[in-house]
Amino acid sequence: MIDYQPLYKLLLETKADDWVSKLPQQIASAFDLSKHGTLAHWQSVIDSMPLPSTQHRLLDSDAVQIGVSSDLLEQARLELESQLKALHPWRKGPYNLFDIHIDTEWRSDWKWERLKNHISPLNHRLVLDVGCGNGYHCWRMLGAGAKMVVGIDPLLLNVLQFQLVKRLYGEAPIYVLPLGIEDLPYGLKIFDTVFSMGVLYHRRSPIDHLMELRDCLKPGGELVLETLVIDGGLGEVLLPEGRYAKMRNVWFLPSCETLISWLKRCGFLNIRLIDVTSTTVEEQRSTEWMQFHSLKDFLSVENPQLTCEGLPAPKRAIIIANVPL
């Protein structure tokens, strides 16, 4: 299991005593085997995994790389690949683990390329990644020099995938916790940079989510926000009547101007729109490592500029903003 003591120690140093007092119980509750029928199987996969030694670790390439093929005998490598596939589906990546290429549903490296040269340098910063999935971007943040990266994601499969990768990597100041942002204490204000990517449109109250993000940042801290948007002017928002791209839990898709106005209303300053990109079937697709339906199955057959419900196809914006000093 993951040793969380270095995390607790740093949180105490940042005066997050209230969270440290609650966090062990939060983690224990999330990993309660009686609450999740598949958790015991996933955990056994990780516990039985070999721990080959390697000197090869690379976090600043498109694929998070750990190990090379020569570090493992062929039979051990085949066993490792089988264990990795037992945690299907892999949605965020890519990863290259002992030359096993995990071709994930999302080319998450493309998103990182869009934002990495616009954010404040992460050197020596305490970073929070909200809705981090299996932690792919957390590894890229660590590779960019962060002092410690904390990811939060309530889906246990994502957390277990991260734990598997971290077992292969070894000790590092990086954690993915089985929590949602609502599980963090009010008034935290300890993080230098907070990322929220692909989360806002899943929240029933986008304003509350922006306020929660602001509440995690220390004075002068930076928010990196990525979310679905629509074309349009100030005040325009799409609220799907039913599903959006077959997803039930999509609520508010604002125009960029509207999103910027929300951030202003929530007290953010220095707001910069740095990218708007339509999602393509090359960036999000089914693979050997994610064999369920993906973006091409969610778009209109007659007009790929629309979802299968007839709504504007996914377009994503990245905005960077700061909280006041």
> Parallel, antiparallel, or unpaired: how do β-strands 95-97 and 64-66 relate?
parallel
Within 65-200, residue ranges assigned H as helices are 74-85, 108-115, 136-143, 156-169
- Say what the pLDDT of residue 35 is: 86
**Closest listed residue to residue 48, CA positions, set 88, 89, 76, 90:** 76
- Say what the pLDDT of residue 49 is: 84
- Say what the pLDDT of residue 214 is: 98
CATH number of the domain within which 179 lies: 3.40.50.150
Residue 299 lies in domain: 5-322
Distances (CA, A) of 274 to 118, 224, 261, 267, 271: 7, 10, 16, 19, 10
Residues found in the chain: 325
pTM over 0.75: yes
- Say what the pLDDT of residue 34 is: 87
Give how many domains the chain has, as a whole number: 1
Q: In which residue ranges of the chain is pLDDT below 70? A: 1
- Say what the pLDDT of residue 154 is: 96
